[in-house]
Structure 1
Amino acid sequence: MPSPPSSPPPLSRLRPLLLPLAGIGAIAGTVALAFAWSAGYLGPRALSAPQLINAIEHGSPPHPGFRRSHSKGTCVVGSFHASGAASPLSSARVFSQQDVSVIGRLSYPGTDPHAPDAKARFRSIALLLRTDDGQQWRTAMNSTPFFAVSTPEGFKEQVQASTPDPATGKPDPARMAAFMAAHPQAKALQEWAKSAPWSNSWANTSYYSVNAFIGTAADGSRHPLRWTLRPHAAVEPLDAEQSEQADADFLAEDFSTRLAAGPVRWDLVLIEAAPGDPIDDPSHAWPDDRRQVVAGVLELTSATPQATGECRDINFDPLILPDGLAASNDPILAARSAVYSQSFNRREREIARGHAAEATGEESHP
């Protein structure tokens, strides 16, 4: 990690960055549960999973019974149809079975389950694929192709820098300046956010694994992989007029309308690293000319509210992998399981104790 300069950039240079950095704050919410060691500790500084969740929760009103991030979402069901083309990269059964059952969740960034959908540009999807031999593949993907930081400690600093000051309702410029000085790779994500399309639907959004994994083929060869979901629906940007007029829940409403006309589909594309590509650093994207294989088509056929849907009580831990796929040494990927578990346990306890009903008047929540 680069050492910070002796003094942070002047605040006058920082002001033009605040709006995009608010987006990075939203990204922090988008990836908020992407860190934790299996033992509950993160990295050499012994950052614990509860400490990181506490940082995420700090400064936000409590929403008992909901996920600690991506709190607002919709359950979906469908299937994955393998093309067979991915077999040279991984022997996982999911890449050879013709019809694989899928339970998923489409979500919105942040900690507020009642936030208006037009206020954040980022989207996420989580999937559980179950093959006919009983194996599961769980993957959590974001609409950002890389992260702003490469370590759990860096993420905690990002969350803290992005937390609004109660006096202004905005992040503290000095704290954000210090974060940017210590983590220059965040600038790359900021630049991406300025030019990337702000989609008007979950259905026409591309999603990225961000982290790398290791595929093992039947011949024993090993292949560093990332994957992306590429929508069949044409990308349509959310313009300013739509943003102002959109209903608070327009993403779920739009998706239901699309499903009424037929399944919503994406190509699942595996991307193989070339020698020298960063395998264990999710803050760097791989070049566009890397080998790409269309592993199959994800087809979603129905959606239900998250309070009653099949996804409600699923922990979409991306380290639950089938034979033929394994985790890389990415510290952020290795960190995910414990915080996912901690978050799941917190909300389930809240529901069991009736705190969710007391806070919201609803019986149960995802």
Structure 2
Amino acid sequence: MPLPTDEKALALGKDLLQAFDNVDGGYHPGFRAAHAKGVLLTGTFVPSQEAQALTKAPHIHNSSTPVSVRFSDFAGVPSVADNDPQGASPRGCAIRFHLAEHVHTDIVSHSANSFPTRTAEEFLEFLRAVAASGPSAPHPNPIEQFLGSHPAALAFVQMPKPFPTSFAREHFFAVSAFKFTSPDGSVSHGRYRVFPEFGTEYIEADDAAAKGPNYLFDELAGRLMAGPIKFEISVQLAGQDDVVDNATIQWPEDRPALKFGEITLNAFAPNNEAEQRQIIFDPIPRVDGIETAGDPLFDPRATIYLMSGRRRRAAQP
């Protein structure tokens, strides 16, 4: 995947990367600009039968597909504590479907069913406001001013983000919508949701504070030794009048959900840290039968993921 040739798009990507660095106290060589602390697991995806009528994508019409799944904390700081009330959430879940050698498609999701801004330009303002709002900044500080004029960002910040007992008991949402084309050419719009086999489970903030800084990663190791970890992927289908190009607008919960398939994770990826540095997830599907639904966040996200990934790879020892 090449970087865009448009100078404005390149400049926006560079500005976003720098803004993330500024929020996180500078660049941490070899790590992602966001979701720096993570772990990579391997397993298998098995599609549902009903998804075959949703899309002609190959991983829906194959009996199974190998997957790599990365769980992560939010901050671009590799030492962030799992129980950090500011830097750990929303947590990430990135899924790669390995379709063939050097051929793949991804789902990138996080644990909050929303996004703070509609555009990358607004998100850049958001990050810059966060970085400029240290404890010595007079009130109303830049982030308070930004949130006061951006109700979607305020709602995102105020949204409860509880501490899960495990990555295996957390849910995840790909908050931008996709366009699905079926084998007969019919079109649907929907958003991915990733739900744990045994449901979500959370603990109170005081209980989380008493745990160690790596409690989620330590728990995951023990859980995986006891057996596989399973998630169901579903697609929440848009209604006729639902907005499909704005990640700050969520659809009503009564919208139908179609089962997309199941993921079974059974091992940590070998050479885990090196593999995490190497893999660059792509929010754009780039596969026949699934494409973006016009959300303006997609292209800037793909650009900054690639920029961050190339920088990360170049810093490898």
**Structure 1 counterpart of 2:248, one-letter code:** S
Q: Percent identity?
A: 27
> 1:207-260, CA deviations, whole angstroms, 9 ceiling, x for partnerless residues?
111011110001111111111001112322122343222122111111111111
TM-score where L is the length of structure 1:
0.79
CA RMSD of aligned residues (A): 2.4
C-alpha separation in 1, matches of 2:8 and 2:112? 23
In structure 2, how many angstroms separate the alpha carbons of the residues matched to 1:41 and 1:99?
A: 41
**Residues 100 and 156 (structure 1), Cα distance of their counterparts in 2 relative to 1, 3 Å cut:** same
**Hey, what's the Cα distance between the residues in 1 that align with 2:139 and 2:313?**
34
Is 1:185 matched with 2:152?
yes
Q: Which residue of 1 aligns with 2:17?
A: 53
Q: Which residue of 2 aligns with 1:243?
A: 208
User: Cα distance 1:71–1:41, how it changes in 2: closer, same or farther (>3 A)?
Assistant: farther
User: What SS does structure 1 have at the residue aligned with 2:39?
Assistant: strand
Q: Structure 1 residue 165: deviation in Å? A: 4.2
Do the aligned partners of 1:126 and 1:316 also contact (CA within 8 Å) in 2? yes
Q: What per-residue deviation string (whole Å, max 9, x for no partner) do you get for residues 291-343 of structure 1?
A: 21111111111125875454431110121432110112111012222111111
CA–CA distance in structure 1, aligned partners of residues 169 and 266 of structure 2: 15
How many angstroms apart in 1 are the aligned matches of 2:144 and 2:182?
A: 45
> Structure 2 residue aligned with 1:138, among 78, 102, 106?
106
Deviates more, 1:228-237 or 1:171-180: 171-180
Structure 1 window deviating more from structure 2 (113-122 vs 201-210): it is: 113-122
Partner of 1:323: 288
In 1, the alpha carbon distance for the partners of 2:50 and 2:138 equals: 47
Verify: 1:99 aligned to 2:64, yes or no: yes
**CA distance in 1: counterparts of 2:29 and 2:101, whole angstroms:** 37
2:90 and 2:6 mapped to 1: Cα distance?
A: 28
Please give the TM-score of this superposition, normalised by the length of structure 2: 0.90
Q: Name the count of aligned residue pairs.
A: 312
| Structure 2 counterpart of 1:221 | 186
| Matched ranges for 1:1-366 at <5 A | 38-39=4-5, 47-59=11-23, 60-119=25-84, 120-131=88-99, 135-163=103-131, 165-166=133-134, 168=136, 173-191=140-158, 193-194=159-160, 197-304=162-269, 307-308=272-273, 310-351=275-316, 363=317
Contact 1:117 1:251 in 2 (8 A): yes
Q: Distance between the aligned counterparts of 1:292 and 1:244, measured in 2?
A: 35
The 1-side partners of 2:205 and 2:105 are apart by 38
CA gap 1:307/1:132 in 2 versus in 1, 3 angstroms: closer
Residue 331 of structure 1: SS of its match in structure 2? coil
Greater alpha carbon shift after TM alignment, 121-130 vs 281-290 = 121-130
